[in-house]
Amino acid sequence: MAETSLSQQDRERLVLAAIDAKEFAYCKYSKFRVGAALLSAKGEIIKGANIENASYGGTICAERTAIVKAVSEGIKSFVALAVVTDVASAISPCGMCRQVLREFCALKMPVYLVPADYLKRLADGDEEGGIKTTSIGELLPDSFGPEDLELPRTS
Ligand SMILES: [Zn+2]
């Protein structure tokens, strides 16, 4: 289960940042824009978008863009993530992003999967705006993380 200690105001701020981040997606191959935003423990918001490449393997997802931006600036403690695309259903991070998020985020950290029509849904009276709330632990059960490398070896 996700820990829902985030204030409504912080969640709103984070979701709007993810929507904003999507505007800078560079996705000329997939035509699938993704925006992500991380909220740091100190209240900073770090945005990311998917950045594709003509050599497809060089593509990086929005979630990893955000994490790499944050960590490379010395921010390594996060309290929430929001992800948004241009489709009406909640799209969740790919497997590789889940693992990278797992490195830096608590298993109970909330992950907000935001539908493209979030603002319309809010205006229509849906208090949640269609957001699906999950967590790193739910997205990546029985995961392997940094602490596993500290376990004593038996041989
Ligand atoms: Zn990904």
Quote the pLDDT of residue 155: 87
Q: Is residue 53 part of a domain?
A: yes
Q: What's the burial of 126, exposed, middle or buried (CB within 10 Å: 0-12/13-18/19+)?
A: middle
- Is there a binding annotation on residue 51? yes
Q: Is residue 2 part of a domain?
A: no
Q: Is residue 102 part of a domain?
A: yes
Q: Work out whether the CA dihedral 25, 139, 9, 70 comes out positive or negative.
A: negative
- β pairing state of 110-114 and 78-85: parallel
Q: Is residue 140 part of a domain?
A: yes
Q: Is residue 1 part of a domain?
A: no
Number of domains comprising the chain: 1
Q: How far is the CA of 125 from the centre of ligand 1 (A)?
A: 31
- Give the separation between CA 75 and CA 48, rounded to whole angstroms: 14
Question: Is 128 annotated in the active site?
Answer: no
Report residue 3's pLDDT band, with 50, 70 and 90 as the boundaries: low
- Is there a binding annotation on residue 29? no
- Give the separation between CA 129 and CA 117, rounded to whole angstroms: 8
Q: Is residue 46 part of a domain?
A: yes
Among 12, 23, 63, 128, which one carries the catalytic annotation?
63
Q: Find the domain containing 119 and state its range.
A: 8-150
Q: How far is the CA of 97 from the centre of ligand 1 (A)?
A: 4
- Is there a binding annotation on residue 127? no
Q: Find the CATH number of the domain harbouring 82.
A: 3.40.140.10
Q: How far is the CA of 152 from the centre of ligand 1 (A)?
A: 32
Q: Is residue 155 part of a domain?
A: no
pLDDT tens-digit series, residues 94-139: 999 999 999 999 999 999 999 999 999 999 999 999 999 999 999 9
Q: Is residue 120 part of a domain?
A: yes
pLDDT tens-digit series, residues 13-66: 999 999 999 999 999 999 999 999 999 999 999 999 999 999 999 999 999 999
